[in-house]
Amino acid sequence: MNILKCLIIGSGPAGLTAAIYASRAGLSPVVYEGMQPGGQLTQTTEIENFPGYPNGTTGTEMMEDLHKQAARFGAEINWGIATKVDFSKRPFSVTIDDANEVLAHTVIIATGASAKYLGIADEQKYAGNGVSACATCDGFFYRKKTVAVVGGGDTACEEALYLASLCKKVYLIVRRNVLRASQVMQQRVFDAENIEVLFEHQTLGLTGDGVVEGANLVKFKGTDKEEQIHIDIDGFFLGIGHQPNSEVFKPYIETDAAGYILTQGKSQQTNIEGIYAAGDVADPTYRQAITSAGTGCKAAIEAERYLRDKGI
């Protein structure tokens, strides 16, 4: 069986940037696109904060550009999901779609993280048209408008505070009667004049003609005080966290309590030499396309140096 020099799992900004660098280094990388070809950016409409696009672009267009660039330098890009791995021996073994075994001397894990959703149908209906899981990515489009953030932890409070610096008004929809966020974050939220915290509220659905224009909520659900209310909003942000797509690697790769892959110091190397992690699967903090691309670059350079040092 042919042994690859470099296998890249995932095709978001991290995976495709790694493919560009690995290709130019002569590693002939093979990329498997994963469960969401192009990554989370394909669910984002407008992108204005990625360098090199002075007039902005869409997530889909940007990922198509990265795909073409990686292919131009010789990267082989395939459909497929890593469903099983064996990192206990070398070369490393990765099974794609429960069928095809791939062997590689180095592996770059760039499987990303998936935003957690409430599970209501309207989240998909208005995806990219008022529903977002990233205030830093999309908040700019809601300047001087009214938005809502769902969640009661640090993530939701951070999103609400960021949006409060841009928006006219921010509703923070909290299922419980308290915030779970740290005391510092709670105080900042309470001190923000344009944030209104809606305790013991849950979202029933969203309304609007093509774009989000409002949200239907239920207050004090399941009690004798239960009532339904409506709020007028222009955007609906999920602040209930992300789930890193690392489950298949956990028997071998160290992660933190939330599942984010741990890397060594300033390196992208995991606890296993020759295996690297890049992008959101190893980043609980920034989760931006540009930072993901940067770690993809680092991972590819480190893989090339590892192979060179090993004489492979």
> Which sequence positions are flagged as catalytic?
134, 137-138
Say which residue the tokens 């003609």 belong to: 209
DSSP string computed for 118-178 = ---HHHHHTBTTTEES-HHHHGGGGTTSEEEEE-SSHHHHHHHHHHHTTSSEEEEEESSSS
Type of residue numbered 93:
S
The separation between CA 51 and the C-alpha centre of its own chain, rounded to angstroms, equals 19
The dihedral sign for the CA sequence 180, 185, 191, 192: negative
For the record, the structure tokens of 223 come out as: 């009690």
**Angle 143-195-113 from CA coordinates, rounded to 5°:** 70
The dihedral sign for the CA sequence 20, 23, 25, 30: positive
User: CA 206 → CA 150, 228, 268, distances in Å?
Assistant: 13, 13, 40
The two beta strands, 76-78 and 30-32, are parallel
Query: Which among 112, 140, 119, 110 is positioned nearest to 240, based on CA atoms?
Result: 119
User: How many CB atoms are located within 10 Å of the residue 161 CB?
Assistant: 19
Report the SS3 class of residue 298: helix
